[in-house]
């Protein structure tokens, strides 16, 4: 309300400059950031990220940690994305017209890694459930019916196994 109209938010400006630098020097890190903004902000398993070579993945995640865009849990392969980074990235993708494309990529990857929920693999599918829910909420412009159908079915079965029957029906 009290800001000059011609001056942008300094946090958003700093983020954009940093993101542009990352895009030029570490494209995989930029892609991981685009990908992660569609997931739940906490406890993102490394295994959900699009596969790349081990060293490339380590370098890309290291770049994002160095910029404080993400943080890694101690002794774990899970990450958190900073909420302001997540919001900024989603807004940027919407402005550049890339939101639908990245939503589809995220949903396809989740369809590939989210297992059929069974008692034996409960720990695995529970790790992916909040990220899948978030990606499904942000799926505007996604037309991949096969990926969506399978994913929605597995999410519904997950909720059923957790006894959350109303959520399973949605």
Taking 50 as the threshold, does the pLDDT of residue 6 lie above it? no
Domains and CATH numbers, the chain: 1-96 (1.10.10.10), 97-170 (no CATH)
- For the stretch 9-67, pLDDT in tens is 777 778 888 999 999 999 999 999 999 999 999 999 999 999 999 999 999 999 999 99
The reported pLDDT for the residue numbered 117 is 80
Query: Helix 27-36 to helix 10-25 angle, to the nearest 10 degrees?
Result: 130
Confidence band of 1 (pLDDT split at 50, 70, 90): very low
Taking 60 as the threshold, does the pLDDT of residue 4 lie above it? no
The reported pLDDT for the residue numbered 153 is 66
- Token pair of 88, please? 């900024």
Question: Which range has highest mean pLDDT (7-11, 25-29, 150-154, 156-160)?
Answer: 25-29
13, with CB counted inside 10 A (0-12, 13-18, 19+), is exposed
């Amino acid at each position: 309300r009290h800001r000059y109209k011609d001056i942008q938010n300094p946090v958003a400006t700093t983020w954009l400059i940093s993101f542009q630098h990352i895009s030029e020097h570490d494209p995989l890190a930029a892609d991981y950031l685009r990908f992660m903004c569609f997931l739940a902000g906490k406890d993102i398993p490394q295994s959900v990220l699009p596969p790349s070579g081990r060293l490339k993945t380590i370098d890309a995640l290291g770049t994002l940690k160095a910029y404080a865009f993400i943080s890694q849990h101690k002794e774990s392969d899970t990450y958190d994305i900073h909420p302001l980074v997540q919001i900024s990235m989603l807004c940027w993708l919407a402005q550049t017209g890339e939101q639908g494309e990245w939503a589809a990529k995220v949903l396809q990857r989740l369809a590939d890694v989210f297992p059929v929920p069974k008692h034996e693999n409960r720990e695995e599918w529970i790790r992916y459930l909040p990220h899948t829910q978030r990606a499904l909420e942000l799926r505007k412009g996604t037309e991949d019916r096969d990926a969506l159908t399978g994913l929605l079915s597995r999410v519904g079965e997950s909720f059923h196994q957790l006894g959350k029957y109303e959520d399973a029906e949605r």
